[in-house]
């Protein structure tokens, strides 16, 4: 028998599901009714919880979800029997029976997988990934020409052809135009039911990048890397952590590993129960402020595995004590701001926080007819 204590969480990541629904609708409005909006929920929905986020998106009207691998696809399928689920990468040539028995859609990334799909029968739905300048996965132009001449792509036509922009967050980058033109050539050659080049950042590049479908991940979770002057998306995550202890520190004393901070006055310091174990970037030490009882308090000293320290000298003594929560992510200081301060990707910050913190969901919606097996799917 395993014994464990039940105690309140020291770190809570609050996830606003209403904001995710609003961001989905925002993108849908931006691209217009002729462009399908698919949701990317890979890596446990960027750390926010695969099933809960998928349920929210389906309820908002999403009818196609992209996941990273078969493990995520099978978890989703066990919860939602009436939604189209596509798998970015897990070899169809090895796991074809799993795809077929659970009604999953493979993204074909190479000729070996294309051959396996073509021998699986005409009923096998698949999406085709083509390489246009990202150099990660996808059939090259040479591969496509060879398969086209063999009539493989004519007999077993992909329902969606997709590619991925390398520099979508840089609006004026010349690589975007090059990839768009390459993709247009493939699109005109294969004439799929739909073409999809743009992910979240590419949505803001304009209609010539939208084709028939966009694949939105980061934007759903409030992350904007589109180079826009203002972020049109609603923040999704708030982060708070509990003060564990407080102490008085004389002037001139070091705080934390490496003595990277020394007090310049007699100070009151609070030890807060969040560290890089929970996903707080180590590199944001001595760079950010937290909110506490309406006051700002700077993070001082290095972030350790499970703790950080803040200077609460200017916070009235009666407004904080052990057990009080401080706010790290708010509507005014979002995951984008934290990532910028730390010099890292906001996607990295969000996925790490989601994996390391206790998650609390706000604005849960009740299950609707969107989750039933009778839901009509568009492939």
Active site residues: 42, 257
Q: How many beta carbons lie within 10 A of that of residue 252, not counting itself?
A: 10
- What ranges make up the beta strands (E) of 81-143? 84-87, 105-108, 127-129
Burial bucket for residue 85 (CB in 10 Å: 0-12, 13-18, 19+): buried
Place of tokens 């401080």: 326
Q: What is the dihedral of CA 96, 369, 62, 223, to 10 degrees?
A: -110
Distances (CA, A) of 331 to 231, 239, 334: 12, 10, 6
End-to-end CA distance of the chain: 48
Helix then strand count (H, E) for the chain reads 11, 16
Contact 224, 232 (CB under 8 A): yes
Place of tokens 């009539």: 151
Measured between alpha carbons, how far is 21 from 304 in angstroms, rounded to an integer? 35
Q: List beta partners, residue 78.
A: none
Measured between alpha carbons, how far is 236 from 24 in angstroms, rounded to an integer? 12
Token pair for 287 = 């760079």
Q: Length of the chain, please?
A: 379
| Signed CA dihedral, 349, 352, 357, 360: sign only | positive
Which helix H or strand E contains 149, and what residues bound it?
helix 141-149
């Amino acid at each position: 028998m395993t014994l464990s204590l039940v105690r309140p969480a020291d770190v809570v990541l609050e996830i606003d599901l209403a904001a995710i629904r609003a961001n989905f609708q925002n993108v849908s409005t931006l691209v217009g009714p002729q462009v399908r909006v698919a949701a990317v929920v890979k890596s446990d929905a960027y750390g926010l919880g695969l099933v809960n986020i998928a349920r929210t998106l389906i309820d908002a009207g999403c009818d196609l979800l992209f996941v990273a691998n078969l493990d995520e696809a099978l978890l989703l399928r066990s919860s939602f029997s009436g939604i189209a689920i596509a798998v970015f990468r897990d070899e169809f040539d090895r796991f074809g029976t799993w795809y077929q028995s659970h009604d999953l859609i493979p993204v074909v990334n190479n000729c070996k997988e294309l051959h396996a799909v073509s021998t699986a029968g005409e009923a096998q739905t698949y999406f085709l990934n083509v390489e246009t300048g990202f150099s990660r996965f996808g059939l090259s132009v040479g591969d496509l020409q060879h398969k086209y001449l063999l009539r493989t792509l004519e007999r077993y036509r992909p329902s969606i052809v997709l590619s991925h922009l390398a520099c979508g967050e840089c609006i004026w980058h010349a690589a975007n135009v090059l990839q768009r033109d390459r993709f247009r050539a493939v699109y005109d050659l294969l004439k799929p039911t739909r073409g999809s080049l743009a992910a979240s950042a590419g949505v803001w590049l304009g209609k010539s990048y939208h084709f028939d479908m966009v694949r939105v991940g980061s934007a759903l979770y409030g992350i904007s890397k589109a180079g826009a002057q203002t972020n049109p998306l609603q923040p999704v995550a708030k982060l708070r952590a509990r003060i564990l202890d407080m102490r008085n520190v004389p002037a001139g004393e070091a705080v934390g590993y490496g003595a990277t901070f020394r007090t310049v006055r007699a100070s009151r310091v609070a030890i807060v129960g969040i560290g890089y174990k929970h996903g707080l970037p180590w590199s944001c030490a001595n760079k950010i402020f937290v909110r506490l009882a309406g006051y700002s308090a700077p993070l001082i000293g290095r972030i350790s595995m499970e703790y950080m320290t803040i200077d609460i000298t200017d916070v009235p003594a009666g407004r904080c004590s052990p057990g009080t929560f401080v706010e790290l992510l708010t509507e005014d200081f979002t995951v984008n701001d934290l990532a910028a301060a730390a010099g890292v990707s906001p996607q990295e910050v969000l996925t790490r926080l989601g994996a390391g913190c206790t998650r609390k969901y706000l604005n849960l919606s009740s299950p609707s007819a969107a989750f039933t097996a009778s839901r009509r799917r568009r492939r």
